[in-house]
Structure 1
Amino acid sequence: MLGLTNESRTSDSAMVSSQDSYEACFGLGHSLRLLDRSGVFRVSPAGLRLGDLLVRHVEVPAGDGWAALDMGTGSGVQALLLRSIGARNIVATDISEPSVKIAGENEILNFGDRAVTFGVGSLFDAPSADRAFDLIVFNPPGWHTPSPDCQEGLERLGLTGLGLEAMFSGDRVLTEFLGRLPDHLTESGRAIVGFNSMVGIQKVLTDVRKQFGANCPLRFRLLERHTFPLFVYTEKWRASMGMLMAEFQLWKERYGSAFSVHADGTLYFSYELVECRISGSARATR
C-alpha cells in the first residue's frame, strides 16, 4: 500500500498492534481496538489527527436529538470515537460493504453491543444518510483524479479495485460532497473535513463557489494543518513511483496540488482539517 492518507504500517506512537488487531489511541484516554483485516485500511496518521481533533472540538449535548454522520467510515473508527465521546445518534456509511461489516464488528469488539447505524452508499446516497445532521465527519480520498495515462499505467501494474477509489478522485468527491452539504446540515450544524493538499485545495474551493454562484452558502475555517511524508509499502507501488511522481507534478501544474520533495526523495504533503458551516445569510433564507 502507498500513502499515509490511506493505510499505515509504520510504528506510530498512537497505534499498538497485535496479531489480528491494533489499538488506536486518542486524547483524553479514548482508545479503540480495531480488527486488522485485509481489504480495510488501517487508521492512518491523518485519521488519528482527525480523531484527536474530534476529542478536542466536539461537545455532545444531552439527549438523543443531536445527530452525527461519519462518511466514508472505513473501519468505523471516527463513528466509534464519537460514541466513546458520548454521541448516541450516529450514522456511519461507506461505499465498501466489507468495510461496513467490519466496522460493525469493531463496534461489538469495543462496546459489546450495536448503537451506530451503519449503511452502504456513496456520499449522501445511503438511505440512513439522506437527512440533516448536527455534525458530519468526512476524510475523503486524498489524491486528485488520475490522468488517462496514469490510469492505464496503474492497470498495467495490476493496481486496480476499490483501494484506488479510496485514494484517487478526491477533487471530484470533495466537489460533489460540498455541493450537496448544505442540504444535509442542520441550521447550527457543521462538517469537519480532511483536505489533502494533493487534491488541489484552492481549485476545489473555487469550483464549489462557482457551482453555487454569487451566493455560496458555505463558509470554511481552517482548524488545523499537519504535514506527513508519503511512504511506499509494496513492490507494485514502488514500481509505480516514477510514473506517480510525474503525475503529481502534472497535478501541481494544472490543479494546484501542493507538496514538496526533500533531498532524500521523500514527498511531503499537507493535511488540513477544515470546518464547514452554513453562512449566516444562507441560513436566513432556508
Structure 2
Amino acid sequence: MLGISQRDRIGTEAAEAIAAEGSYEVYFGMGHVLRLLNRPDVFKVSPAGMSLGDFLVRDLTQDDLRGSLLDMGTGSGALAILLRGLGAHDITATDISASAVKTAMENELLNFGDQRISFGEGSLFDGPRTKRRFDLIVFNPPGWHSPSEECREELKRQNLRGLNLSAMFSGEKVAFDFLRQLPHHLTSNGRAIVGLNSMIGIRSVLSRIRELDGVGDALEFKLIERHTFPLFFYSGDWRESRDILLTEFHRWRDRHGIAFSVSDDGTLYWSYEVIECRLAAKFREVRA
C-alpha cells in the first residue's frame, strides 16, 4: 500500500497528466466505465482487451471475486481496475514495463481516489508479487508471432522508431512460457482466462505445451468465445511498414501455422480467442 504523501503525489500527477495529455473512456457493460490516461508509451485498450473485459463482466461470480486474482501484463491497468469495480479485493497486477505500472497506479487513483490493487513490475511469474497461487489469472499476451530475420532487417532499414516490437511480437514465446509455469500458480480450483491472437499460432503453442513432461497432462483448455477483428495500421510507422508486415504474416502462415483471412478488398482479419485453462482433475485432487 502507498503512504499518504505518495498517494497524494501520484494523484496530483494523474490530474496534471489529464490536463497535459488527455484521457479516454472505456465502457465494459453493466455501467462499468473507466477513465484512463492517454500515454504514448502505454497501449490504449484494444478491441481485444474490450472483449476480454466484457467477458469478465458477464462471467465472474461473487465467489470468483472473493478469491485471489492476478492481472498479468496489466498495461494501463484497465482489467485490474475493472475487477476492483466488480467487487474484487485481493488483486495483484503486474507488467514488464515500469511506465505501464506507474500509469496503471495513476489510473486506479483516477477512478477510485485511492489504491487497493497491488501493482508491481515483473516478467510473467518472476515478480515477488506472483510467487503464490491464484484463484483467477487474467492474461492478454502480445498478439503476433516472433518476426523472421528478414522482417527484422527490413524494419531496421526503415528506421521505424515508433514500432514497439517487444510489445507486439513474440506472442508465441510469451504464451508458451506463461502456460509452462501456470500449473504452479493455480489453486486447486483456480483457472486462467487467456486471450490469444490467432497471429501467434495457437495450435502450435498448445501442441508444444501438451508435449512437455509434467505440464502437458496438468492443464485442460477450453475455448470460451472467439471474435474476429480487422487488422488496422493505426500509426504512421505501422502504415509505412504495412507491406513488410503483410509479407511477414504470409511467412508465418506457411512456417508456423498462424491463422488469418483476407477479404476481397485486401483487409486482413484475425481471430481473438478467449481460452480457459484449468488444472486437470488428478492434479486438482492432489493440490486440494
TM > 0.5: yes
Q: Which runs of 4+ in 1 moved over 6 A?
A: none
**Distance verdict in 2 for CA 1:214–1:142, change over 3 Å:** closer
Q: In terms of mean alpha carbon deviation, does 79-88 or 158-167 score higher?
A: 158-167
Closer, same or farther: CA 26–237 of 1 in aligned 2, 3 Å:
same
Q: What is the SS of the residue equivalent to 2:212?
A: helix
Deviation at 1:116, TM superposition (A): 0.3
Instruction: Give the 3-state SS of the residue equivalent to 2:135 in structure 1.
Output: strand
Deviation track 1:167-223 (CA, whole Å, cap 9, x = no partner) reads: 100000000100000000000100000010001110000011112369510001111
| Alignment CA distance shift 1:251-1:42 (3 Å) | same
Aligned to 1:56: 58
Aligned to 2:17: none
SS of 2:81's equivalent? helix
Retained in 2: the 8 A contact 1:92–1:118? yes
User: Distance between the aligned counterparts of 1:160 and 1:185, measured in 2?
Assistant: 39
Separation of aligned partners in 1, 2:239 and 2:64: 50
CA distance in 2, matches of 1:79, 1:260: 32
1:25 to 20, 24, 27: 27
Gaps of 5+ in 1: 1-17
Matched with 1:5 is: none
Aligned to 2:224: 223
Distance 2:215 2:263 in 1: 41
For residue 282 of structure 1, report the CA deviation from its aligned partner.
Answer: 2.0
Deviation at 1:236, TM superposition (A): 2.2
Given that residues 65 and 87 in structure 2 are in contact (C-alpha distance below 8 angstroms), is that contact kept between their aligned partners in structure 1?
A: no
Cα distance, 1:37 vs. partner? Answer: 1.2
Q: Which amino acid aligns with 2:30?
A: L
Identity of aligned residues (%): 57
Structure with a larger share of its residues in helix: 2
Q: Distance in 1 between the 2:90 and 2:163 partners? A: 29
Matches within 5 A, 1:61-72: 61=63, 66-72=67-73
Structure 2: gaps spanning 5 or more residues: 1-19
The letter of the residue matching 1:49 is: S
Query: Match of 1:14?
Result: none
Counterpart of 2:43 in structure 1 is 41
Q: Partner residue of 2:112?
A: 111
The correspondence of residues 229-248 of structure 1 with structure 2, limited to 5 A, is 229-248=230-249
2:36 partner SS:
strand
Q: Cα–Cα, structure 1 residues 162 and 83, in superposed 2: closer, same or farther, change >3 Å?
A: farther
Counterpart CA distance in 2 for 1:104 and 1:141 is 21
Equivalent pair of 1:157/1:236 in contact (CA under 8 Å): no
Q: Secondary structure at the match of 1:29?
A: coil
Q: Find the residue that maps to 1:194 and give its secondary structure.
A: strand
* Structure 2 CA distance for aligned equivalents of residues 69 and 159 of structure 1: 34
